[in-house]
Amino acid sequence: MWVLKSLLLLLLIHGIKSTKDSQFALDEYYQEASGIYEKANKIHLENELATGKIGALDVSERILNKKIDASLLEEYLEMKISGGLKEQNEMLELFEKAKESETSEQLKDDVVNGFSLMDGFSDLEKKISEFNIDGVEDYFKRLERRLYSEPFISEIVSQLERLRLTYSIILDYVQEYQDVTLSDTVKSILWKNIDFLRKISKASHDIPDALKQQGFNDDSQGFDSFERTRDVTEKLNAMMNEVKNMEGIDSKLLKVEKEMEALEELKEGNVVNEIKNRFQNLTKSSDFLTNFRTTTIFHGEYGGIQSISPLLQKIKLFSSKMRSFEFRTSISSKKWSTFENHFQHTNIQSGSLTEKFSNFRDCVRNFDFQMSFPVEFLADFDERLTQFRLVDSDIQNYTKRFEELAETTNNFLTLTERKYPDEAHVDIDFLPLFREFIDEQAWLLDVHFLEKSLRQIDYKIEELNLDNARKVFEGILEKMDNPKQFLECYSNLQTTASDIKELLVLPGKVWNFDPKVLESTVEVVGMFKEAYKMIEEIKEWKVATNPEIENFPLDGEDVKTVSDGINVLETIRNVQNGLEMMKTLDVENLEINDSWDLLVSSLSQFFEILSSQKIWNLSNVSFPTNLPIDTIKTFIEDEYQENQRNDILNFLKGIQILQTDFHEYPNKLEKMNEAIEKMKEWEGEKMNTVKTMVDCSEALSAVRPLRNWFLKESNYLAVKRPPGDKLTLLPQRFGELIRKLWNPRALRTHVSPHEMLQAVVVCSNKKFQFIKQNDAYDFMLFLLTTLHTALNGSEKRESIISKTFRGRMREYSRKVIPAEDTEEEKYRKMHLPDYQEKVSEKPFLFLTLDLPAAPLYRDVQLQNIIPQVPLSTLLEKFDGKNGERIQDI
């Protein structure tokens, strides 16, 4: 039994180990591919920049995730902002002019009150225009006709007396014979009354005619002319009393004119529209400055590329500036919209704004404010005229009574003549008829009052002093021309006080804005200029040539295939990690227990097969089919409410994606592997060329004096070189490499010599490059001599290089006596100075050793191997015992 349990335990352990191995292999492969992709992508991007396939502006657009079009800002380059923009200066000039000519509220009230006062004289202007003194003159003439002569009054008195006597006779006859029997004699006497009636009729006609002929007519119309004249004069005088308060208003109108001139200049000009257009253009351009944010993805892609770090700094600075500009322009835009709304809702009236004030000023200037009218005379004259009219009215009344008497008498006479053609026809009814007539005309007994009235009227006319009245009225007529012209002048303005009030309020509304709003346009234009220059600087930036990435074998499509392959691995990895988590899920008591076991076992078997693939070749692997994903998903969505619900659904979603796209994965992984192999091959070739430089640098780092000196950064940073000298770069980069190699707290087990090698390429003028194999001797000679020079060393001036590596060697030399000389010649020359042994001491950095030549034939392994020689043997060249002959040339 325990044997069976042991076997099961071993199988379980093997299964767990296979799963862990599979997961470890996948993670390791994923991390390796991701690292290669990251490196390849950066090199590809740098290579695109270096080869001009993309520009610095393209990189900026990728990092900022926004299209950068500098042409939107070109129009602002030519704008001169030192003295302000043209439309800004025009508006500010008008604003200052308006503020200088601004009038007080009191002054405006005075002007409005003046117009209101003139509005109240509209009826008077009409009356003056209709005024005519001719009716008054005719009235005066008729009054003068009433000045009668004594014959006239005597004639009237005589007729009145006859009329009274005739009436008295008739009255006596009627009273005398009213109770008497009518005899023929009586009838004859009574019939004579008819003749008396004829006399009364004649007198009642003659008296009114005589009065009318003398001028005693109904003069109500003439009196009305006088009344109108008096009314107009009194109103004019009242107007003068009120208008005197307007004296000096012409100067106030002049100030208002100046205030309106600025407003009129604003209306007639185009500065408001120009400013609105400027604001609109600035607002549109301001949209360009928005949303300049660096994206993490693209910034990460470019962040590790040392050669474009200056560009990244420019982009970062540009983004920071744009965010600042965005904030500042947003504030300015709100002010601009306030300005636009202000003028959008502020309408300036059409037509001239100053004409009404200037014309009214002309009216006022030509008016005599000291003018007055003789209202006291008119009042006195009116009183006397009233007394005259009372008497005249009595005369007019009696005139009417005489006319009525004539009519009544004629009618009565006609009646009696028809009824009593002769005295024989007189009967008893005759007396009652006459009695009725007599009773009605009883006033004829007292007709002397008319004489009294006529004599009074003459006195009243003399009291009127019509000659003086004529002169006064002519003076009134003459004076009336000035106010008439004044009122007509105002009437021609065709305006009212309410119109003027509305107009005077307009300047306060129009100029009620903050002029500092206009100053912000200069600031924003300056921002646009700066933004344009920054874009141009980015556009003109060029990446420095990096020999390390020359001949890079991957193009954009290759890099994409690596990315696609990583996405494949990530999808598989997510499902595998999800599977490990789902294995711990307890579904034993659930309806989906069998389906869940099938899903887990199928996926486990799939990943076990994958673990056997050495390089994750999926061409021979099939993804399991008929997985109960839908069954499990339906149950989880409808009935499962535990905490892992969302995790399970995400896990099932990942399986569906893997199941759907798995047929494409082998091809994608194959292409990724091919691209990775290209990358590895290229890196291997590159490392062969770099190895020489790295080995030399690492060998120098083991020299203690040199190492200790370069570990202290201040030693070489204090060395001063001419400005722009590129040799300054080499000691700095070599010192950084030494400090990295000997850093006891380094987190990594390896050190990148990239910066040091880049400095070598630059300082050697590309003589030593990554892509070209170089001789170690040449490189070591270059490195030491260049470091010596960069540290201000020379033949006479030491540096740490010369102190550490420079040696001195004694060189013994002797001129060789020619062999063909005789013994005597040899002896003689041996004692000559030229043939004596000479000793010189020479400094050196290197000693050349003579290596044996390579054998002519290959060995048994078909390789040419240089024979191994002890170093001591090679150094015997400098032991002072062995020499060499140098042939003279």
Residues of the chain with pLDDT under 50: 1-19, 889
* Residue 871 burial (C-beta neighbours within 10 Å; 0-12, 13-18, 19+): exposed
Pick from 286, 291, 292: which is nearest to 333 by CA? 286
pLDDT of residue 196: 77
Residue of 487, 793, 547, 698 lying closest to 50 (CA atoms): 547
Phi, psi at 635, each rounded to 5°: -65, -45
CB 699 within 8 A of CB 705: no
Residue 301 is predicted with a pLDDT of 67
Q: What is the pLDDT of residue 474?
A: 78
d(CA 133, CA 227): 11
Percent of the chain's residues with pLDDT above 70? 85
pLDDT at 17: 42
Amino acid 21: pLDDT = 53
Closest CA to 549 of 62, 41, 63: 41
- The CA dihedral of 292, 298, 304, 307, to the nearest 10 degrees, is -70
* CA-to-CA dists, residue 862 to 609, 857, 858, 859, angstroms: 44, 9, 5, 5
What residues have CB less than 8 Å from 141, skipping those under 6 apart?
Answer: none
DSSP of 559-623: HHHHHHHHHHHHHHHHHHHHHHHHTT---TTSTTHHHHHHHHHHHHHHHHHHHT-TT---TT---
Q: How far is CA 673 from the centre of its chain?
A: 56
> Can you tell me whether residue 534 is helix, strand or coil?
helix
Q: Read off the pLDDT of residues 748-781 as tens digits, 9 standing for 90 and up.
A: 666 777 788 888 888 888 787 766 667 777 888 8
Half-sphere exposure of 687 (CA within 13 A, CB side): 7
Backbone dihedral region of 52: left (phi > 0), alpha (psi from -120 to 50 degrees) or beta?
left
Is residue 329 within 8 Å of 524, Cβ to Cβ? Answer: yes
pLDDT of residue 18: 45
How do the domains of the chain map onto residue ranges? 2-54+555-675, 132-243+375-479, 702-805, 808-878
